[in-house]
A and B are shown apart, each in its own frame.
Chain A
Amino acid sequence: MQDAIAVAGLTKRYGGLTAVDDVSFTVATGEFFGILGPNGAGKTTTLEMIEGLRQPDGGSVTLLGEQPSLRRRSLLMRIGVQLQGSAFFERLTAREQLSTVASLYGIGDSRVDEMLNVVGLGDKGADRVEKLSGGQRQRLAIASALVHDPEVVFLDEPTAALDPQARRNLWDLLQGLSDSGRTVVLTTHYLDEAEALCDRVAIMDRGRILELDSPAALVRQLNAPLRVSIAPQELSAEQAAALPGVDSVRLDAGALILTTRQPEVVLSRLAAEGRLAGLQVHGASLEDVFLDLTGREFRS
């Protein structure tokens, strides 16, 4: 099947700063693709060049088999865009907003109520956008991006500035977006979000793509040790270090943390000795991958 998006050697410079530096990737049709990175990594600029909002200084973009251009109305009909921020008309209700956007795509009002229900705003149609919560505004922005049933949807940090509960609620909505064969491109600076939603993730920092794979494969490649923590009164640090399979031991904030590459050996020994109180097991996360790739802690 044809790739929905193909990007090769994409470069954008602002004065002396290279915001996007020789970026190449493809997104398959129906894929949920994530671009993960801290603020200023070049995620939004990359997205804007794919959408056709910005002209690249170098490289090429193919979107649904065409070169993106704001003048190609047939192409604009096939893509949906949710922008960072709250791009709404002032003092309109949620239904009026969506109805206005729908009319730009030649879509009638019957689809508007349907979309409000899809994003969970069925009972908020008569509320003005100024009264909606941050999460509800993001849902409305997503509904605006989906109202014409586009083949490719671009979501630029849809959960930025939301509290953790609202973020997780929104994930439920986002997870279903690619079910019907739709291609989704999402930028985020939340590692857990990329892990939870994306089929593949491009990790981006300072304008370059550092790594690109499925979240699980990225973590696997790392071959990072597992962290097993138990209550500190179960074992002394010396006893723990003497256990077979334990690489290192650390006492941290009321927990004894053992790192190991042989979790089956360590866990069965602890179980046999009945020392499992307060047990927690942590695998490596994208956070560790980022740290490994950049040598820096991830700062969102």
Chain B
Amino acid sequence: MSRVRPPAVSLAMAMAKGFWRDRAAVFFAVIFPLMFLLLFGTLFSDGGTSRTSALQVGDVPLLDDAPPGARGVIAETIDVRRSDDLAAALGEIRQGDADAAVVQHGDSVQLYYSQADPVLASTVRGTFEAIVSSANIGASGQPPQYALEVETVEDETLSPVQYLTPGLLGWAIASGATFGAATSLLQWRTTGLLRRLRLAPVPAASVVTSRVGVSLGIALFQTAVFLATGMLVFGLELTGWWWLAFPLLIAGTLAFLSLGLLAGAVARTQEAAVAIANMVVLPMAFLSGSFFPLDGAPAWIRTVSQVLPLRHLNDGMLDVMVRGQGPTAVVLPLAVLLAFATVLTAVAALFFRWDT
């Protein structure tokens, strides 16, 4: 007598194999979001450390004769190269190869810089004005009246990978669950498999359980791949309550499964279901801060984003994975996500059809 698997298990295995053998589905659920993590992680990784590059044309005593302490500060902010020819130096600035050129005639220091990047331009100007003023103070022989003490404070602004990993993972989970539910519902309905399953002595709950199980498995796999990449490649650091992300991703998977069910129930063809899912998931990902923080977004966008389930998933994951917050941080996201799952499933049931 050969062993018999419970129906829910064998249905889940059938769906899991179908997913794993569909290269496009695996690509869009796992590899595609991972590419964004690698891309953004690399692009933003050294954004804060770049130095201004300046060309020193001829002798510039302001820089050359600066006291040793000031010279160290200058070296930290400006990468000074020497050039003999002003025209060539200006050419380099126009090409974007250098940010500024500096020439000194007697006591007059002439600074050339490009306005192409306003932030960089003001940095260049500010830096040289500071150098000139401190040189002026030094030349006056008076001790400085004011001293600036600096100290950095850990604020809510996270390093890029700390911010990107939970957000992109939220997007990956949202699209994986939505597309998985929408396309398999369509395929089952259009081929008649749904009717075939209805005529099998299996409760509908087994079918639903197997689909939820497969989507949760995919979400866990996405999480493992994302955390491993974040930690090994970009030095992602998880905080103590990071495992609270698991209840969040379960609730998130349920919410986006129900969104996918709704798309699959409303659409008549596979293409339409994918289009509907895309139209909802991609804008939602942008508005929920999956790709970049919403701190700089207009207030109304931040308000609108509060109605999006992905916004709550992202916030919850950020709080527990990298901001070090505890269980209280997941209460609201869990409640919102489960409420979404309930409402969307009820709406999907209204549109549900067994056959075409």
Given A81-B196, A91-B18, A100–B10 Cβ distance below 8 Å? Answer: yes
| A109, CB-defined interface residue at 8 Å | yes
Proximity string of chain A (283-296) to chain B, C-beta cutoff 8 Å, 1 when within and 0 when not:
00000000000000
Interface residues of A in 65-80 (CB under 8 A from B): 70, 73-74, 76-77, 79
Question: Who on chain B is nearest to A90 by CB?
Answer: B18
Cα distance, A73 to B205, chains bound together (Å): 14
Are B14 and A89 in contact, with the CB atoms below 8 A?
yes
| B64, CB-defined interface residue at 8 Å | no
Are B199 and A81 in contact, with the CB atoms below 8 A?
yes
What A residues does B1 contact at CB under 8 A?
A: 108, 110
Q: Shortest beta-carbon distance, B139 to chain A, in Å?
A: 79
Are B193 and A103 in contact, with the CB atoms below 8 A?
no
Contact among A76, A77, A92, A103 with B5 in the assembled complex (CB-CB below 8 Å): A103
| B3, CB-defined interface residue at 8 Å | yes
| A85, CB-defined interface residue at 8 Å | yes
| A106, CB-defined interface residue at 8 Å | yes
Q: Shortest beta-carbon distance, B90 to chain A, in Å?
A: 63
Given A83-B196, A108-B3, A96–B17 Cβ distance below 8 Å? Answer: yes
What A residues does B148 contact at CB under 8 A?
A: none
| A272, CB-defined interface residue at 8 Å | no
Proximity string of chain A (82-105) to chain B, C-beta cutoff 8 Å, 1 when within and 0 when not:
011111111110001101110111
Q: Shortest beta-carbon distance, A148 to chain B, in Å?
A: 9
| B119, CB-defined interface residue at 8 Å | no
Interface residues of B in 1-19 (CB under 8 A from A): 1-7, 9-11, 13-15, 17-18
What B residues does A97 contact at CB under 8 A?
A: 14
Are A51 and B199 in contact, with the CB atoms below 8 A?
yes
| A107, CB-defined interface residue at 8 Å | yes
Are B17 and A53 in contact, with the CB atoms below 8 A?
no
Cα distance, A132 to B191, chains bound together (Å): 16
What A residues does B197 contact at CB under 8 A?
A: 104
Q: Shortest beta-carbon distance, B194 to chain A, in Å?
A: 8
Q: Shortest beta-carbon distance, A139 to chain B, in Å?
A: 16
Q: How large is the interface on B (under 10, 10 to 19, 20 to 34, 35 or more residues)?
A: 20 to 34
Cα distance, A125 to B319, chains bound together (Å): 50
Contact among B15, B192, B200 with A104 in the assembled complex (CB-CB below 8 Å): B200
Are B18 and A103 in contact, with the CB atoms below 8 A?
no
Contact among B14, B191, B202 with A87 in the assembled complex (CB-CB below 8 Å): B191
Are B22 and A88 in contact, with the CB atoms below 8 A?
no
What B residues does A109 contact at CB under 8 A?
A: 2-3
| B195, CB-defined interface residue at 8 Å | yes
Given A53-B199, A76-B201, A92-B17, A85–B191 Cβ distance below 8 Å? Answer: yes
Are B196 and A100 in contact, with the CB atoms below 8 A?
no
Are B4 and A107 in contact, with the CB atoms below 8 A?
yes
Question: Who on chain A is nearest to B354 by CB?
Answer: A53
| B187, CB-defined interface residue at 8 Å | yes
Cα distance, A89 to B202, chains bound together (Å): 16
Contact among B18, B198, B199 with A92 in the assembled complex (CB-CB below 8 Å): B18
Are A89 and B199 in contact, with the CB atoms below 8 A?
no
Contact among B15, B193, B200, B354 with A76 in the assembled complex (CB-CB below 8 Å): B200
Are A100 and B4 in contact, with the CB atoms below 8 A?
no
Given A96-B17, A100-B10, A100-B11, A87–B4 Cβ distance below 8 Å? Answer: no
| B21, CB-defined interface residue at 8 Å | yes
Are A85 and B192 in contact, with the CB atoms below 8 A?
yes
Are B14 and A104 in contact, with the CB atoms below 8 A?
no
Contact among A76, A91, A105, A110 with B21 in the assembled complex (CB-CB below 8 Å): A91
Question: Who on chain A is nearest to B15 by CB?
Answer: A89
What B residues does A88 contact at CB under 8 A?
A: 191, 193
Question: Who on chain A is nearest to B356 by CB?
Answer: A85
Cα distance, A52 to B197, chains bound together (Å): 13
What A residues does B7 contact at CB under 8 A?
A: 103-104
Are A77 and B201 in contact, with the CB atoms below 8 A?
yes
Q: Shortest beta-carbon distance, B207 to chain A, in Å?
A: 10
What A residues does B6 contact at CB under 8 A?
A: 103
What A residues does B201 contact at CB under 8 A?
A: 73-74, 76-77, 104-105
Cα distance, A170 to B7, chains bound together (Å): 30
What B residues does A99 contact at CB under 8 A?
A: 10
Most buried by B among A51, A100, A107: A100
What A residues does B10 contact at CB under 8 A?
A: 99-100, 103-104
Where the two chains meet, the residues of A that have a C-beta atom closer than 8 Å to any C-beta of B are 51-53, 70, 73-74, 76-77, 79, 81, 83-92, 96-97, 99-101, 103-111, 144
Excluding A92-B18, A104-B202, 12 further A-B contacts by CB distance (< 8 Å) are A53-B198, A77-B201, A81-B196, A86-B192, A87-B193, A101-B196, A101-B200, A104-B201, A105-B201, A106-B4, A109-B2, A144-B196
A-B contact pairs, 18 of them (CB 8 A): A52-B199, A53-B199, A70-B198, A73-B201, A79-B199, A81-B199, A83-B192, A86-B191, A87-B195, A89-B15, A90-B18, A91-B18, A91-B21, A100-B10, A100-B13, A100-B14, A103-B6, A109-B2
Where the two chains meet, the residues of B that have a C-beta atom closer than 8 Å to any C-beta of A are 1-7, 9-11, 13-15, 17-18, 21-22, 187, 191-193, 195-202, 354
* Pairs of residues from A and B, 5 with the lowest C-beta to C-beta distance, nearest first: A108-B2, A103-B10, A73-B201, A87-B192, A76-B201
